[in-house]
Amino acid sequence: MYRSHNCGELRASHINTEVTLAGWVQKSRNKGFIVWVDLRDRYGMTQLVFDEERTPKEMMKRAEDLGREFVVQVKGKVIERASKNPNMPTGDIEILVSELTILNEALVPPFTIEDKTDGGEELRMKYRYLDIRRNPVKNNLIFRHKVTQEVRNYLSQEGFIEVETPYLIKSTPEGARDFVVPSRMNEGQFYALPQSPQTFKQLLMVGGIDKYFQIVKCFRDEDLRADRQPEFTQIDCEMSFIEQEDILNAFEGLTRHLLKEVNGVEVEKFPRMLYDDAMRLYGNDKPDIRFGMEFGELNAVAQHKDFGVFNAAELVVGIAVPGGNSYTRKEIDKLIDWVRRPQVGALGMVYSRCNDDGSFKSSVDKFYDHDDLAKWAEVTGAKPGDLVCVLSGEKNKVRTQLSALRMELAERLGLRDPKVFAPLWVMDFPLLEWDEDTERYHAMHHPFTSPKPGQLELLKTNPGDVKANAYDLVLNGNEIGGGSIRIHDKETQALMFDYLGFTPEEAKAQFGFLMDAFQYGAPPHGGLAFGLDRLVSILGGQETIRDYIAFPKNNNGRDVMIDAPAPIDDKQLTELSLKLNLKS
């Protein structure tokens, strides 16, 4: 055996035990007459000792020459450590080495393998195999494993069956761009990598697998940001003979289980909020409800004076910032600059100070008196000592801008405690959304989402008002899962394709296999898919997903470690019947 124990398990009870350890050299300290070496593996660190009184000269010389990240095996006796380290689990002991074997030498790594490293993100991604040796990344991957195992155990106990679905499928229009794969055996034809197993899980419902789940890779060729990757992992679930309430109860149960088993947190309440209310009160469909600062719509109390900016706006809306009256003018000016950034896009910000004595002082005192500003405070819920921040403009845009400001202020005020978990169901999304470029409606989720009961006829008169039988599970301001009750009959599905602009021929070409399956007895069904990467990162107290993925891509979708994507040679292109037409 290369090791009898790992580098994290030896304690005072092991003193005088002969052991064999193997791992990487973390660091060494040479005092001339004695050499200490910290040996590291996945489980922890153990101090080795070589001294000139008890260590042969030849071994002493090799110990002095050990470099960082050398892979070594040692044999020796566990002895009591003279200077104990209470910060190390193995800090009471050390190993007096009797045999030293260098299994592999190592170059000096390009960054320090420490919890706090000197390596930038791009450098660490290039040498990801070294980055994984660092405790933060290693522990994140172990944490992901724990979450995944809890998911599998819980769903299996609840009667779900894990079924794998294909990766090489047909390209279908589901929203984002597909990654496509040319077929050598079928010249001029292409597979697509699945954006989700949507149609396959519906086919499994037709097949009678009434409780399905899969922890599955999905692929979307879309622009990236901190919480997106071109390939990501879903906990994909579907159930038959259910209604919406059954889905919500099932996956509230899973979420409660994960919070309890992984984080030691018990959450009983999963409040529910309509999509329209989420947009009105928070400006987005995944509100963080760990703190207040709900929107107050001010049109009725701000558009009666001669302030043209407000009078011309579709929406005037504000939030109360707790304790914000303490901000200096310079700090408020910085907030105004923040909302003017291109990423936010506001033209400016109006503010009103709520003084402790009940008076108000605003940036628009020329137009608004005390009674006006008191109404602003009342509508936004501002109290003495708060600051009211007001934006105005086109309704959808200004809500998005104020939502961004709300989150930024909450971050600055320390209101987004990662150890506090506030789940929320957002319900009744619009079934369709209008696309200005194509001048037609698109499915807000996907074309298999059913409308709310009783709203099918509304498609003919006011399609934009139809609500979907759809729901998202939000945790701490992040969508961690989403799903819907599906259309399960051919006629309704054909009607939906028609309203989405598909001709019968196009619908048949794209989704004929699903329509055909529905003719053979499709049960009522619905489901939900969790984003595993995002779920794990939030449970781990973070909101970016990269450090919970073993080998992530950068913001350009590149794997800088293996240098992918990369060109393929002309022979492969010929075999695939492809010809490049690159833009100059």
Annotated binding site: 174, 220-222, 229, 445, 479, 486, 531-534
Tokens 């592999």 identify what position? Answer: 104
Q: Could you give the CA distance from residue 6 to residue 23 in angstroms, rounded to a whole number?
A: 8
Q: Can you give the three-state secondary structure of 139-150, one letter per residue?
A: HHHHHHHHHHHH
H or E element, residue 471:
strand 470-475
Distance CA 94, CA 71 (A): 18
- Residue 529 tokens, joined: 């898919």
How far does the chain reach from its first CA to its final CA, in angstroms?
58
Residue from 316, 273, 274, 321 nearest 293 by CA = 321
The residue behind tokens 């030896």 is: 10
Residue 516's φ and ψ, nearest 5 degrees, are -65, -40
Binding-site members for L-aspartate are 174, 220, 445, 486
Give the integer Cα–Cα distance in Å for 40 and 70.
Answer: 10
Tally of CB atoms within 10 A around 115:
10
* C-alpha of 60 from chain center: 49
What beta strand segments (E) does 15-113 contain?
A: 18-30, 34-41, 44-51, 71-80, 93-104
Residue 420 to residue 290: CA distance in whole angstroms: 7
Helix (H, G, I), strand (E, B) or coil at 507: helix
- What is the Cα 523 distance to its own chain's centre? 32
Per-residue CA distances from 352 to 360, 394, 399 (Å):
7, 21, 19
* Contact indicator for 17, 78 with CB cutoff of 8 Å: yes
Identify residue 60 by its one-letter amino acid code. Answer: M
Among 393, 458, 398, 390, residue whose Cα is nearest residue 430:
458
Check if the beta carbon of residue 169 is closer than 8 Å to that of residue 192: yes
As a whole number of angstroms, the distance between CA 482 and CA 491 comes to 25
Contact 381, 354 (CB under 8 A): no
CA 262 vs CA 42, 194, 306, 424: distances in Å: 20, 30, 56, 19
**Which tokens go with 350?**
């109006």
Return binding residues for ATP. Answer: 220-222, 229, 479, 531-534
